[in-house]
Structure 1
Amino acid sequence: MKETPLSNCERDFLLKAIQEKKRLDGRQTYDYRKLKIMFGTDFGCCFVELGKTRVMAQVSCALVAPKENRPNEGIMFFNIELSPMASPTFEQSRQSELSVKLNRQLERCLRNSKCIDTESLCVVSGEKVWEIRVDVHILNHDGNLKDAASIVAIAALCHFRRPDVGIQGDEVTVYSTEERDPIPLSIYHMPISVSFAFFQQGTYLLVDPSEREERVMDGLLMIAMNKHREICSIQSSGGIMLLKEQVMRCSKIASVKVSEITELITKALENDRTARKSGGRFGFAESMPQERITAMKKEETSVEMTDANVEASDVVLQAEGPPETSQSVVVPLPGMGQVGQGVKNSWGLEEDEEEEYKSDHDQETAMEVVEKQGHVVEISDSEEEEVVILEPEPVAKVQKKKSSKSHPKESAASKKLHKK
C-alpha cells in the first residue's frame, strides 16, 4: 500500500509552525519525546516506547562455525521486521528500502563500533563460536525509527545472558540456567544514535522528528555516539549541504542526549536486576500497576455493612404503601372487539343473545323494505334454493321451501298460483 501524501495545506501548516519554533506535540526544538524502557521475563527481551513509536527486540544465541577469515571471533547478526501492524505502508515478508537502511545503521552502530567483545564469544577456535542474533520488530511507526531501534538493540544486548559452556576434550557441553547461571555479554560501551531533521535547506533544525515532520523535512543527519563523546557512526541523507558549524552543533546536542539516554538504560537495568534478586515483580508484571490488566478497571472500595439491617428495616417501616387502584373499564372503539370470558361485547349483550338479535333485526328490516316497495321478492340460492315470499300485509308470512333440485317450469307455475 502506498503512503498517503500530505496535502498542500497541511504541509504549509507544518513548515510555518517550524518557522515559528512550534511543534504539533508541544515540544521545543531540542526536546526528545518521552522514552520508556521495559524488559520481558526472558533475558534479552526489551520494549522501548519513544512517544507513540514502539519497538521490541529479542536477542538469541546459537553455536555455529566461525568465519574463515576470523576463526576466533563470534558473529553478530541483525534483523529488522516491518509489520503492517505498525503502518499500512509496510508490506509483509518483503524487504523494503527502509528495512535495509535500518539494518545497515545497526551494523555500523553496534558491530563496526566494536562495542561488544566478539572474541569472548569463541568456544573452540576455528570450530565453534557463539552467534548473537538481534531481531527488532517495529510495533508502531510514529517517526524516528533509527533512534528507537538503536536504543532497543543496545538495551536488549545489555540485558541478555548466554548459557555457560564446559569443554572436556573434544566435547562441548552447554549448561542450562538451572545447572549454572547464564553469563552476560562483554560490552565496552553503549553507542546510541540521535537523529536531526533539517528544513528549508538546513535553515531550521529539529531533534527526534515525528512521522509527519519526516514527511516535510529536506534532510536527515544521524549521529551515533557513546557517553564518552566518541562518535561511532555518522550518516547524512536527503542531499542537503551542511556546514561544519552545523555538524559540530549537532554533535554537541547529541552528546547531551546520549548521556541522558545511557543513564536511563543503566537505571532500567539496575531496577530489573534488583527485582529479580529480591523475587519481586519484573518484566511485564512491573508495567501492570496494582495487578490490573485493563486500564479502565476501577479500584474496589470497602463498604461498611454493620448497620445495614437496622437501616433497611427503618426504611421499610417509614415507607408508605402503594395507593389502591381500581380496575378501569375499557370501552372499545367502533370496529374493535374484545376477547375474554364473561366480558360483554360492544353492545352490552352476550354472544348468543347477539346472534338472536341480529337474526330478528335482519327479518324486521327485510319486512320494512317490502312494506315500502309493495311487491313480493323471491331469493334463491345455488346449492339450496330458498323461496321467500313477503306479502304486504301488516303481519308478513315467511315460508321457506327447500329443494335439492328444482325445475324452472315449477318455479314459474308457483309464481302464477301465488299471484291468483
Structure 2
Amino acid sequence: MRLNKVEVNLIRLLEAAPRQQNQAKLLYYVTTARELLEQLGAETTPEGISSISKAKLSEYSEKIEALASRLAASLPENEKPITESRDEISYDEAKAESPISLSSGLRRRSTKLQEDLTDEMVELARQLKESSLMMNQSVQETEKILDSTERAVEHSLASAGHATSRAAEVYSLASKTTCFQWLLISIVYIVVYCTYNAICIDSANDTSLQLSGGLNRSTGALPHAPRRPFSTSFSSGAAPTSPPATAKRRMAAETKPAAASGVAGEMEVEAYRRLFPVPFLERHLGESVRMDARRLREARPTTVALGAVSSAHGSALARLGDTAMLASVKLEVMSPPAEHPDEGSVAVEFHMPPICSPLVRPGRPADVAPVISKALEDVLTSSGMLNLKDLCLITGKASWLAYLDIYCLNADGSLFDAALISAVAAFTHLEIPLVSVGDDGRLFTVGGNDGKNKFELVNREKRKLTLGAIPLSLTCALHKDDILADPTSEEESIIETHVTVVVDSSDRLVSLQKLGGAVTSMATIKECISLAKERRRSLREILLDSIKAMEVDQTE
C-alpha cells in the first residue's frame, strides 16, 4: 500500500525522536507527531473510508505515548504533568479519556521553543537575504569585469586585423616584380657565372704550371720559359749585334709585371688549395708527389732529443716534421696492488693545450686526447716493453708508480706516432732514483751520494729501466689506390681512411687500427704493415743516435 506524505513525515519523526537528547526539541517532536497523527486519522478516501487502519493508528499512538512518557520522566517535579492517581481508574479508561495531559509548565516550554525556532528562522532568513545581496553585487562586479575584458579583446583583435592587412599589402607590393626586373636578374646571374668559370679555368691552368715548375725544380730541370721573338739586324759578313735600345727598354719594362704576376699566381694557387682541397690533392697524386713535395710513401724527417726536462726522471722531445711532442716520466713511491704485490704501475696521460692547434679551444679538452691516452697505455702494456717487476721496491709494501705525461706542442698530423716515439724515448732516458727508509718507516727518494751516509738505502745505486720489445708505429692515409705514409694534418682533414700499424723490435704486429672510410683490401693492409716495418728500422737508428749523443754530452 502506498504511503501518503503525512504518514511518511510521521514515520521519519518517530525514527529520529529516540536519538534526540535535547528535551526542548524532543517536546517539539512529540507535539508535531500528535498533530500529524490527528491529520492522518482525519484523512479519508473518496468513498468516505479512513485512509489508514485503526491498527496503524494505535501503533503510532503507542510510539508517541512512549516518547511522551520518556519526556515526562526527564522533566523536573514542578514541570511534570498532573495525572489523576486514582487506583480505581483502569488503564483502558485513562487511555480513552486522554492520551496524556500536559501541564501548564510543559505548554510554556513548548511555546518558548516555538518562539525560539521562529527567531532562528527569522535570523536565517535575514542572513540568507544578506548573502543574496552580496552574491548579486559580486555577480554585477564580475559582469563589469567581463564587459571590460571583452572590449579589450575586441580592440586587440581589431588592431591585429589592421596590422595583418597592412602586412599583406606591404608583402603584395614587395612581391610584385616586373618582367624587366626578372630579365635584369637573369643577365647578372649569367655574367657572374661566366666570370666564375673563367676564374676557375685560369686558376687550374696556373696551378698546373706551378706544379710542373715545382716538379722540374725537384728533378733538377728548369721550367720552359716562353720564347719572346725580337728582331736583330745583321750586316753582310758581320756577326749578329745586340738588340736595339728600344728592345732593351721594352724587356726591362716587362720584368715588373712578371714579378707581380708571380705573386698573383701564388695567391691563386693558395685560393684554389683552400677552396678545392680534394682536386688539389688528386692533381698532386696524379704526379706521384704530395703537397709538401714528398713522395707518397716517404715519412717526414724525425728527430729525438733526450733529457729535455731536467726535473723529470726521464724525458724526451720528439719532432715528426712540424709535429712536436714532449714526454716526461715522474716516479713516485706507492703501495703495490693486492693482486700484483711484486709489480709497479704506469699511468699515461696525453695533453693537448690550446697552443698546439687552432682547433683546440681554451677550457675544453680535445676530443682526441683521451683516445690517444688509452691507445698509448694499451700499446705500452701489451707490447711487453715495460717489465713492471723492475718497478718493485719491497714486495707487498712499496713499488714505483710511473706517471707518463705527453704534451703536444704542435699538432701537424700523425699525433699517435709522435706520442709513441716520445714515450719510448722518455722511458729509454729514465733513471730510477735512490730510495731511503726514514725513522718513521716511510720511503722517500734521495739524490746524489749524500744520502748513503745518513739513511738506509733500499736500492744501492741508480739504474736504467730494462726495456723489452720496443713498439713503434706508422700511420698511413688511404685515398683510392694511393697510400700516403705519415700524413700531415691537412692530408688527414681531406682523406677519410687512416690505418695505424704498431710493430715491435722483432717486427711482430702489436696493434692495427683503422679509422673511418670504406672497407680496405687485405693487400693494402699488408702494404701498410710492410711500410711500418721499414719505418721501425729507421726510427730505431734515430733512437740509437740520440742515446749516443746524450752519452757524449754526459762525458763532456
Band of TM-score, shorter chain: 0.5 to 0.7
1-structure distance, mates of 2:363, 2:506 = 39
Alpha carbons of structure 1 residues 173 and 64: separation in structure 2 relative to 1, 3 Å: closer
1:186 equivalent among 457, 466, 483? 466
Aligned residue number for residue 361 of structure 2: 91
Aligned residue number for residue 263 of structure 1: 541
2:293 equivalent among 26, 29, 32? 26
Aligned residue number for residue 71 of structure 1: 341
Following superposition, the deviation at residue 16 of structure 1 comes to 2.6
1:194 maps to a residue whose letter is L
Aligned residue number for residue 280 of structure 2: 13
1-structure distance, mates of 2:449, 2:436 = 15
Of Structure 1 and Structure 2, which has the larger fraction of its residues in strand? Answer: 1
1:190 maps to a residue whose letter is I
1-structure distance, mates of 2:495, 2:489 = 10
Following superposition, the deviation at residue 241 of structure 1 comes to 1.1
1-structure distance, mates of 2:352, 2:444 = 37
Aligned residue number for residue 527 of structure 2: 249
Alpha carbons of structure 1 residues 95 and 127: separation in structure 2 relative to 1, 3 Å: farther
Structure 2 length-normalised TM? 0.46
User: Does the 8 Å contact 2:333/2:444 carry over to 1?
Assistant: no
Following superposition, the deviation at residue 155 of structure 1 comes to 0.3
Aligned residue number for residue 82 of structure 1: 352
Following superposition, the deviation at residue 172 of structure 1 comes to 4.0
Aligned residue number for residue 206 of structure 1: 484
Aligned partner of residue 276 in structure 2, secondary structure: helix
1:25 maps to a residue whose letter is D
Aligned residue number for residue 134 of structure 1: 404
1:195 equivalent among 475, 481, 503? 475
Matched, 1:174 2:445: yes
1-structure distance, mates of 2:508, 2:362 = 37
Alpha carbons of structure 1 residues 127 and 24: separation in structure 2 relative to 1, 3 Å: same
2-structure distance, mates of 1:30, 1:140 = 23
RMSD: 2.1
Following superposition, the deviation at residue 38 of structure 1 comes to 1.2
2-structure distance, mates of 1:173, 1:76 = 19
2:424 equivalent among 151, 154, 163? 154
Aligned residue number for residue 391 of structure 2: 121
Question: Which protein has the larger Cα radius of gyration, Structure 1 or Structure 2?
Answer: 2
Following superposition, the deviation at residue 126 of structure 1 comes to 2.5
Following superposition, the deviation at residue 8 of structure 1 comes to 4.2
Shifted more, 20-29 versus 162-171: the winner is 162-171
Aligned partner of residue 63 in structure 1, secondary structure: strand
Of Structure 1 and Structure 2, which has the larger fraction of its residues in helix? Answer: 2
Shifted more, 234-243 versus 205-214: the winner is 234-243
2-structure distance, mates of 1:177, 1:259 = 37
Alpha carbons of structure 1 residues 176 and 222: separation in structure 2 relative to 1, 3 Å: same
Aligned residue number for residue 501 of structure 2: 223
Following superposition, the deviation at residue 157 of structure 1 comes to 0.7
Aligned residues: 271
Alpha carbons of structure 1 residues 183 and 199: separation in structure 2 relative to 1, 3 Å: same
Aligned residue number for residue 377 of structure 2: 107
Alpha carbons of structure 1 residues 231 and 126: separation in structure 2 relative to 1, 3 Å: same
Matched, 1:234 2:516: no
User: Does the 8 Å contact 1:59/1:133 carry over to 2?
Assistant: yes
Aligned residue number for residue 388 of structure 1: none
Aligned partner of residue 85 in structure 1, secondary structure: helix
Alpha carbons of structure 1 residues 84 and 71: separation in structure 2 relative to 1, 3 Å: same
Aligned partner of residue 354 in structure 2, secondary structure: coil
Shifted more, 105-114 versus 203-212: the winner is 105-114
2-structure distance, mates of 1:82, 1:258 = 25
User: Does the 8 Å contact 2:383/2:470 carry over to 1?
Assistant: no
2-structure distance, mates of 1:258, 1:102 = 20
1:46 maps to a residue whose letter is A
1-structure distance, mates of 2:508, 2:497 = 23
Equivalence map 1:352-363=2 (5 Å): none
2:467 maps to a residue whose letter is I
2-structure distance, mates of 1:132, 1:41 = 16
Structure 1 length-normalised TM? 0.61
User: Does the 8 Å contact 1:108/1:233 carry over to 2?
Assistant: no
1:91 maps to a residue whose letter is R
2:290 maps to a residue whose letter is R
Seq. identity, %: 23
Aligned partner of residue 337 in structure 2, secondary structure: coil
Shifted more, 125-134 versus 148-157: the winner is 125-134
Following superposition, the deviation at residue 164 of structure 1 comes to 2.5
| 5+ long unaligned stretches in structure 1 | 1-5, 281-420
Aligned partner of residue 137 in structure 1, secondary structure: strand
Aligned residue number for residue 302 of structure 1: none
1-structure distance, mates of 2:538, 2:407 = 24
User: Does the 8 Å contact 2:383/2:469 carry over to 1?
Assistant: no
1:175 maps to a residue whose letter is V
Following superposition, the deviation at residue 221 of structure 1 comes to 0.6
2-structure distance, mates of 1:268, 1:50 = 15
User: Does the 8 Å contact 2:354/2:361 carry over to 1?
Assistant: yes
User: For 1:105-155, what per-residue CA distance to the aligned partner results, in whole angstroms no more than 9, with x for missing partners?
Assistant: 211221222211101111122322101111111111111111110000100
Aligned partner of residue 129 in structure 1, secondary structure: strand
Following superposition, the deviation at residue 93 of structure 1 comes to 4.6
Following superposition, the deviation at residue 90 of structure 1 comes to 1.0
Alpha carbons of structure 1 residues 173 and 63: separation in structure 2 relative to 1, 3 Å: closer
The structure, 1 or 2, with the larger RCO (C-alpha pairs under 8 Å, 6+ apart) is 1
